[in-house]
Structure formats: C-alpha cells, structure tokens
Homo-oligomer: A and B are copies of this chain.
C-alpha cells in the first residue's frame, strides 16, 4: 500500500529553468496558448508547429514532444505521426494527451494509431480517457471525465506494462506509473476543473519536465507537483476561475523550493 514520500520536484524545475529546453507541441486550437504559456512561465521554450513539412525538423531540434488530440483532424494526426517518428529517432520523450478519447470513434481510432505506429513514452489522460486507452468499456461524454468502475492504479500499471510507457491518470489524485514505480500526487484543487485548459497544461508541464529527466515517472510526478502546488497557491489568491488562471501563471513563475517542499503531498 502506498505511503507518504518526498520527491525533489524543485531540482527538476531548477534544471528546466537552467536548460530552457525546447518543447514542441502539436495540440488543439482551444488551449494552444495556455499550453505554450505554461511552458514559458516554467522557464522553458515552447514551439507549436503542425505543418507536415516541418513537424519532423522541429521535433529534431526539440527536447520533448507533446501531442494532444483535443481538436484532431486526419491531417493533424498525420503530422503528429511524422513528428513522433522524428522524436523517436532522436530519442526525446513523446507525451500523448488522449484528450476526449472515448467520445467518438475517430478519437479512439486515431489514439490507437498513434500508440501503434509510434513510440509514445508518456500516455496521459483523465480516468475515462485512460480507461478507454487501456481497453476498458467506457463512454466519455465530451472531454470531461466520467466514472470508471475498475481500480485506476491497476489500470495505470497494466497499461504501462502493456505499452512500455509511463501512464498518467489525472484527477483529484493523479496516478503516475511506469509499470514498476508508482506515484500518487494528491496536490491540486477542484477549482482546476472549473476552467478549460488545466488538463492540457498538465500534459505540457509533464513534457517540459520529461525534457530534462530520463526517469519519466519521476519527471511526470515532479511536474504535476509543481503545477498543482502553484494551483493551490493561486486558488488562495483569487476569487474565481478567471483570476485563478492568471494567478496560476504568476505562482508557477515564482515557484520556489520552500513552497514545493512544504506543500507537496505525494504517495508512492
């Protein structure tokens, strides 16, 4: 049974700030700004480029690649495959945010194509999205999470082993597993579910941390700790979802070791 542990999330954040890795995205048109901006306020360098003709070259100068199928089209998925193959060849981590997987046949089909045709290093989604990727019988209602019956830790572990990837299930408690190691990140605040974009931003944060740390489960857990500690601070300093979001960027930018260490709630 998992117990309380401490991870040194700050040291990875410090590395991000020093190395300023380029994090390449092919993402959705809804939260594309927030995905770029969250990478920027962490101290890294976002680049969003989805043309098939440059996706491979851009991935080759990046340190991580983030894919998000939120507003997928056939063309965009083709560009994602090209970018992912280039990232695989260079050996940089590829994050897939299975945004809305389970909602339509197209999303299911394209998610599995990405997983089967390229190497995805980190598979990220909410409970119903990951359950769908894992082959469970769920029907997602749009892009918000719906209830999943089976134990989520079990789903994460099995999917990680099956896909030889790190799996991240976001929610009130985030589950991170690479099939062996397990982290449960208990930080965060329900206000995060009242604005659009926190899920997508979480994937970008994970990609940014994965750009500087080979232990991808540790990278993902550390990124989530930083993102969610900042969210907790932002909730305290705001009156509603609008001001919360702006303060989230403020707190992420100013995040320090003392705050992270004192506020982190991780089990593993």
A31 at the interface (CB under 8 A from B): yes
Q: Is the CB of A104 within 8 A of B247?
A: no
Q: Which of B45, B194, B196, B253 contacts A142 (CB 8 A)?
A: B45
Q: How far is the CA of A106 from the CA of B48 in the complex (A)?
A: 14
- The listed residue (B37, B74, B141, B197) touching A61 by CB distance below 8 A is B141
Tell me which of A28, A46, A53, A194 has the highest count of chain B C-beta atoms within 10 A of its own C-beta: A53
Residues of B within 8 A of A248 (CB): 242
Question: Known interface pairs A141-B45, A142-B47. Does A57 touch B242 (Cβ–Cβ under 8 Å)?
Answer: no
A72 engages B51 (CB within 8 Å): yes
CA–CA, A217 to B70, complex, Å? 32
Q: In the bound complex, do residue A100 and residue B49 qualify as a contact, i.e. CB atoms below 8 Å apart?
A: yes
**Any B CB within 8 A of the CB of A119:** no
* Interface members, chain A 74-117 (any B CB < 8 Å): 74, 100, 103-107
Interface string of A240-256 (1 = CB under 8 A from B): 11110111111101100
Number of copies: 3
Complex partner residue of A62 from B24, B33, B142, CB under 8 angstroms: B142
Q: How far does the alpha carbon of A245 sit from the alpha carbon of B242 in the complex, in Å?
A: 8
Which chain B residues border A28 with CB–CB below 8 Å?
48
Are B250 and A240 in contact, with the CB atoms below 8 A? yes
Q: A100-B47, A142-B45 are in contact. Are A195 and B243 (CB under 8 A)?
A: no
Check if A58 is an interface residue, CB within 8 A of chain B.
yes
With A54-B106, A58-B104 known as contacts, the answer to whether A141 contacts B22 (CB < 8 A) is: yes
- Is A134 engaged at the interface, CB distance under 8 Å to the other chain? no
- Name the residue among A51, A143, A254 with the largest chain B CB count within 10 angstroms: A51
- Of all A-B residue pairs in the complex, the 5 with the closest CB atoms, nearest first, are A240-B250, A242-B249, A242-B246, A47-B142, A54-B106
- Residues on A facing B (Cβ under 8 Å): 22, 24, 28-34, 36-37, 40-41, 45-51, 53-54, 57-58, 61-62, 70-74, 100, 103-107, 141-144, 194-197, 238-243, 245-251, 253-254
